[in-house]
């Protein structure tokens, strides 16, 4: 079945770049997503990439997609303490069409 | 502004009781989803609906049911609450033809 894997923790210093990695299994996913969850809150859509793209840049965020290796990454430039959160990678649940399968989430801790 | 709301935000109940968690969205989205979030498991799909009168089982549907009588609401019912159902529950919605989901703020359910 579909599965999404992420490393669980990442710790960086303020001002450094953060790279959060994800691997997925369903190569037919049309879109791949990054969601952010701040403490005590719901998930907020951060960015997404269409499956026929290799890269997408949105201000401090860069998403890289390697379809051959089924690898997705999220790079946050100039990481700030406000970026501390849990980041979830998600792919489409192929059988259902638009339901999503989430990874377990990567907790990003930013120290000043 | 259009939004997605969940109620209650916090609920404590006893084992064996029936519990219903409400989800209401004002975007007129066709697709609605229920997830539970647990430490070590990330988000897991419980049930989803692609329109009125449509419901489908997700990855962890045992012990849960949903009904979709209108576009705006997808209540989640725990028929006989169990301690294993202590979790944070998130509702989400998306428009037809898109995978991008928007999440509610979550309901923290404790079953004693």
For B10-53, the pLDDT digits (tens) are 999 999 999 999 999 999 999 999 999 998 788 899 999 999 99
pLDDT at B2 over 80: no
d(CA B35, CA B88): 8
Report the first-to-last Cα separation within chain A, whole angstroms: 41
Helix, strand or coil, per DSSP, at residue B28: coil
Q: Which among B43, B58, B100 is the nearest to A45, CB-wise? A: B100
- Relative to beta strand A18-24, strand A4-6 is antiparallel
pLDDT at B97 over 90: no
Taking residue B107's Cβ as centre, other Cβ atoms within 10 Å add up to: 22
Q: Which among A42, A101, A103 is the nearest to B106, CB-wise? A: A42
Secondary structure letter of residue A16 according to DSSP: S
- Closest Cα to residue B42, out of A21, A70, A100, A84? A100
Q: Which among B33, B98, B104 is the nearest to A42, CB-wise? A: B104
∠ CA A93-A95-A99, rounded to 5°? 35
What pLDDT was estimated at residue A94?
A: 57
What pLDDT was estimated at residue A2?
A: 61
What pLDDT was estimated at residue A101?
A: 86
d(CA B90, CA B75): 11
A-chain CB neighbours of B98 within 8 Å are 98
What pLDDT was estimated at residue A79?
A: 97
What pLDDT was estimated at residue A108?
A: 97
* Pick among A7, A43, A47, A91 to test the B interface (most B CBs inside 10 A): A43
B-chain CB neighbours of A92 within 8 Å are 99
- The token pair that represents B14 in the structure block: 């006893």
> Which residues of chain A register pLDDT less than 50?
96
Least confidently predicted of A78-82, B39-43, B56-60, B71-75: B39-43
d(CA A82, CA A74): 16
| H-state helical runs in B15-76 | none
Confidence of residue B63 (pLDDT cuts 50, 70, 90): very high
Confidence of residue B74 (pLDDT cuts 50, 70, 90): very high
Give the residue on B whose Cα is nearest the Cα of A95.
Answer: B58
A-chain CB neighbours of B99 within 8 Å are 30-31, 33, 48, 92, 98, 100
What pLDDT was estimated at residue A25?
A: 84
């Amino acid at each position: 079945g579909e599965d999404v894997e992420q490393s669980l923790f990442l710790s960086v210093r303020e001002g450094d770049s953060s790279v959060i990695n994800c691997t997925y299994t369903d190569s037919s996913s049309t879109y791949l997503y990054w969601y952010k969850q701040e403490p005590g809150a719901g998930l907020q859509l951060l960015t997404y990439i269409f499956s026929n793209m290799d890269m997408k840049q949105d201000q401090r965020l860069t998403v890289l997609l390697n379809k051959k290796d089924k690898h997705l990454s999220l790079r946050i430039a100039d990481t700030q303490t406000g970026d501390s959160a849990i980041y979830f990678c998600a792919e489409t649940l192929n059988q259902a069409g638009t339901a999503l399968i989430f990874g377990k989430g990567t907790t990003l801790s930013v120290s000043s | 502004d259009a939004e997605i709301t969940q109620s209650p935000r916090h609920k404590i109940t006893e084992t064996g009781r029936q519990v219903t968690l409400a989800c209401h969205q004002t975007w007129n989205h066709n697709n609605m989803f229920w997830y539970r979030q647990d430490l070590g498991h990330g988000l897991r799909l419980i049930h989803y609906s692609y329109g009125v009168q449509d419901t489908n089982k997700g990855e962890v549907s045992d012990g849960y049911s949903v009904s979709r009588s209108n576009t705006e609401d997808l209540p989640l019912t725990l028929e006989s609450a169990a301690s294993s159902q202590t979790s944070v529950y998130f509702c989400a919605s998306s428009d037809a033809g898109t995978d991008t989901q928007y999440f509610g703020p979550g309901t923290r359910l404790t079953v004693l």
